[in-house]
Chain A
Amino acid sequence: MQVFPFVVVAWILGVGLYGIVTSRHLVHLIVCLIIVQSSTYVLLLGVGYVTGAVAPYFFDVPVHTPAVDPVVQALALTDVVVEAAVTALLLALAVQAHKRFGTLDPNELVQLRG
């Protein structure tokens, strides 16, 4: 249980990168990029977890109760929005790529070679 979450993180990262490398459709590639980024959330929150601790909200719990690390959650929050922003821009590029190239297969999306 000590290392298992980090093995899952490595697995998600590997699967995501596999998806990007073998992708034949740009939207599929962008979704695999989302998977690669989601591996960072699981890693971030896994690193900040404290066994047997409560969530860092002291509305109904006294302040000194052992709580999970809030900083990591703030970082993960910032990341979720960064992911949405980059994905939106990539999808807009995908729409234009389909208009200009007529296809969304990364192997055909080649104007500049060599």
Chain B
Amino acid sequence: MNPARVLAVVTPYTVTPGLMDALQVTVLVLVAAGATAVVLTRVSARQVIALSVYGLLLAVLFLTFQAPDVTLSELTVGAVALPILLLLTLAKVRRREK
């Protein structure tokens, strides 16, 4: 453990360092699993949903890294805007295939 274990500020919502480590490790494992899941789903439609869930997991990870700005940005872009663009492209590709 590195020396800076003292808590910067103690509020009713402060997460104790031990709990924060555990939280970060679990979310990191989930993010790694999410990335693998997104890459391994070959059906594009399902992959977009997996990407959206992956965006959510990343947003939670950034929250545990104390980065709310990037969390909001990852939520709006990663979990919402990109999947919409992907779905529109897939709709266009599927419509032409018919």
Contacts and interface: CB of A to CB of B under 8 A. Distances in A.
Contact of A42 (B6, B31, B90, B93): B31
Contacts of A12: 31-32, 35
A55 B62 contact: no
Given A11-B32, A35-B38, A57-B68, A66 B8 contact: yes
Interface string A71-110: 0110011001101100110010011001100001000000
A2 B17 CA distance: 14
B93 A31 contact: no
B36 A15 contact: yes
Interface residues of B, number: 51
Interface residues of A, number: 56
Interface in B28-59: 28-29, 31-32, 35-36, 38-40, 42, 44, 47-48, 51, 54, 58
Nearest to B64: A49
Interface of B: 1-2, 4-9, 17, 20-21, 24-25, 28-29, 31-32, 35-36, 38-40, 42, 44, 47-48, 51, 54, 58, 61-62, 65-70, 73-74, 77-78, 81-82, 85-86, 88-90, 92-93, 96
